[in-house]
Amino acid sequence: MDKKIKKATVFFYEPVYVKGFGSVVGKKEKESWLGDWFDIAFDEDLWGEKSWEKCERKMVLKAVEVALAKAGINENETDYLIGGDLLNQIISASYSARELGIPFFGIYGACSTMAESMMLGAMLIDGGFAKNIACATSSHFATAERQFRNPLELGTPKTPTAQWTVVGAGASILSKQGEKFYPKITYATTGRVLDFGIKDANNMGAAMAPAAAETIMIHLEETGRDISYYDKVVTGDLGKLGAGILFDLLNEEGIKACDNYFDCGIEIYKENDNMNCGGSGCGCGGSVLNGYFIKNMIEGVFKRILFVATGALHSPTSTGQGESIPAIAHAVAIETE
Amino acid sequence: MDKKIKKATVFFYEPVYVKGFGSVVGKKEKESWLGDWFDIAFDEDLWGEKSWEKCERKMVLKAVEVALAKAGINENETDYLIGGDLLNQIISASYSARELGIPFFGIYGACSTMAESMMLGAMLIDGGFAKNIACATSSHFATAERQFRNPLELGTPKTPTAQWTVVGAGASILSKQGEKFYPKITYATTGRVLDFGIKDANNMGAAMAPAAAETIMIHLEETGRDISYYDKVVTGDLGKLGAGILFDLLNEEGIKACDNYFDCGIEIYKENDNMNCGGSGCGCGGSVLNGYFIKNMIEGVFKRILFVATGALHSPTSTGQGESIPAIAHAVAIETE
């Protein structure tokens, strides 16, 4: 693996606090062992809306509302909204931005979106351009399935390597000011796009694992940290197969990630045997980070985590044209004092 | 129009130079009066590739290559690539990023992408996180048409308000260091998402004009500048109808934009009577900015421009579900000393 790329890690001299955090999930996700950590859960796929797409939009809005309330600020005090999702033209984020009225930067990083939004947000705050920034992302099984794969009505069986898109949204409010107990973003390592030739759109884990391995290795090398420095190294949604490949790739480089490794995609459907390789989607890492992790950091259970969100950057068109699946991974170090 | 939103404009204390600039266009665009200002033009839609999507990717890569060469740096000296396009999952940008190997931030702002990438890039450079950043965007009539509207093979007629997606790509290299004659980014005004209820996906100009008007007004108010301060106020692709609406909206507020107004979409197809309301697409503003404008700024013809790129943030799904079209406009002030 080529590690000779130039410095991809930046350090934040000014504190960037995760001052607000909101998470919204669906029924299946609520039933998980992580369920109690989410702020809001709804029972049926549409949540009272007329389409799944509108439901996903509502999830983003609610996650941002909860996060803003916890941060004790309102939309007018929020300098920027940075967000994206899996849907074409990121309509969940764009239409939410319309409701919120906050100056908006739309981003697309597939399932790496939560990390991408947080690292851009942290740079804008440390750079002096903003006091408060809302970062948000979402995914919904039904909107993703019909866009990326097949209409649900077809009842297409899932292949063994497939993952299930999490019904979830997550939002963080990054802030220049905060109390000591709020987690802070300390480092951000931006990934580059890698492609290991995987062409099966039902095997995202394998496509994304090499990107995660490279970004983690670069992060450790550039920060001079050992992987054991972190209480948890948290990947977004590699799933069972992808996590295994990540372990192998890191092992080859002499990096042991075992006890402190956590994949949100594996954990969120852990008790459910029907979920193939686990969960996926921007909302998977986004909701688990802003639910389970940030809350446990504030309670002192975890002091240092490395959040590594991976994204598969293909489209149905690129797959249809025989292209392999490029992937990216961004790493954000979040720490309490 | 509600102007009571909080400060959306930032000023760059550190110089952020536009040190490299590349533009690539197709045949129709080359035939325009702007044609000689573009760096590369190709004669047939596919440019030797097997699909229009692959052609668009090649356009982005070539635009970035030209821009890097002019800046006198290579990929390894480029800290970040910030890019996006109109295609689902921004595959033109993502697959280009795979070839370039530069740490990548994918963005989606529809036709506002060039401005979005430049303002984020300028903030990252002024914030001290990067020395050189490549910003890139693209569009292609054939890829956009079949994704957003109908397969070209149908031969669907265009409505009178429709615009034609420009076959074009543009790239800028932003840099911390540069000679005095390079244009500098001085201010950036980030837009919020507005929606004036337009539901016709063939009437983008009307959907985007109110966003352009608001962002221009906020920019002038927050910088204390008069619109006549700028040699040119350049919108990306409002087209004939949208430009007229922009004039009306600005006039209502006592702002006269006449002699110094320039819409890339109107100008690029000016001599061609068959192009309805004009050109559109990320590549329209992207190629004209990095072709005609930056070159004319270096030659001293223009000293101060305000580049206002507008984006329509709908998707075929949102339109199909009866949603109106939300829009955004970002403004970047580019000046020479």
pLDDT tens per residue across span B146-174: 999 888 899 888 899 999 999 999 999 99
Other C-beta atoms lying within 10 Å of the C-beta of residue B245: 20
The mean per-residue pLDDT over the stretch B200-229 comes to 96
Q: What is the pTM of this model?
A: 0.97
CB B202 within 8 A of CB B161: yes
Q: Of all residues in chain A, what percent carry a pLDDT higher than 90?
A: 91
Q: Angle, to 10 degrees, between the axis of helix B52-71 and the axis of helix B91-100?
A: 50
Closest-approach residue (CA) in chain A for B89: A315
Nearest-angstrom CA–CA distance, A149 and A128:
42
**pLDDT, tens digit (0-9, with 9 covering 90-100), for A287-321:** 999 999 999 999 999 999 999 999 999 999 999 99
Cα dihedral sign, B177-B179-B182-B185: positive
**pLDDT, tens digit (0-9, with 9 covering 90-100), for B77-113:** 999 999 999 999 999 999 999 999 999 999 999 999 9
Q: How far is CA B106 from the centre of its chain?
A: 15
The pLDDT of residue B2: 40
Closest-approach residue (CA) in chain A for B196: A98
The pLDDT of residue B150: 87
Cα dihedral sign, B44-B47-B51-B53: negative
Nearest-angstrom CA–CA distance, A148 and B249:
40
Could you tell me which of A65, A70, A108, A73 has the C-alpha nearest to residue A89? A108
Closest-approach residue (CA) in chain A for B78: A6
Instruction: Tell me which residue in A97, A101, A190 faces B105 most closely, judged by beta carbons.
Output: A190
Other C-beta atoms lying within 10 Å of the C-beta of residue A114: 34
Amino acid at B295: K
CB A235 within 8 A of CB A198: no
The pLDDT of residue B1: 36
User: What residues of chain B lie within 8 A of the CB of A97, using their CB?
Assistant: 192-193, 326, 328
User: What residues of chain A lie within 8 A of the CB of B193, using their CB?
Assistant: 94-95, 97-98, 101, 104
3-state secondary structure of A2: coil
Other C-beta atoms lying within 10 Å of the C-beta of residue A97: 30
Nearest-angstrom CA–CA distance, A81 and A63:
13
User: What residues of chain B lie within 8 A of the CB of A313, using their CB?
Assistant: 89-91, 94-95, 98, 106
Task: Tally the C-alpha atoms within 13 A of residue B10's C-alpha that lie toward its C-beta.
Answer: 27
In the predicted model, is pLDDT for residue B185 greater than 60?
Answer: yes
Nearest-angstrom CA–CA distance, B131 and B125:
6
B51/A194 touch (CB, cutoff 8 Å), yes or no: no
Instruction: Tell me which residue in A54, A80, A318 faces B91 most closely, judged by beta carbons.
Output: A318
In the predicted model, is pLDDT for residue A224 greater than 70?
Answer: yes
**pLDDT, tens digit (0-9, with 9 covering 90-100), for A135-150:** 999 999 999 999 998 8
Instruction: Tell me which residue in B79, B124, B193 faces A94 most closely, judged by beta carbons.
Output: B193
**pLDDT, tens digit (0-9, with 9 covering 90-100), for A90-141:** 999 999 999 999 999 999 999 999 999 999 999 999 999 999 999 999 999 9
Distances (CA, A) of B91 to A41, A108, A209, A214: 33, 10, 20, 22
User: What residues of chain A lie within 8 A of the CB of B328, using their CB?
Assistant: 94, 97, 104, 106
The mean per-residue pLDDT over the stretch A77-85 comes to 98
B128/A127 touch (CB, cutoff 8 Å), yes or no: yes
In the predicted model, is pLDDT for residue B6 greater than 60?
Answer: no
In the predicted model, is pLDDT for residue A1 greater than 50?
Answer: no
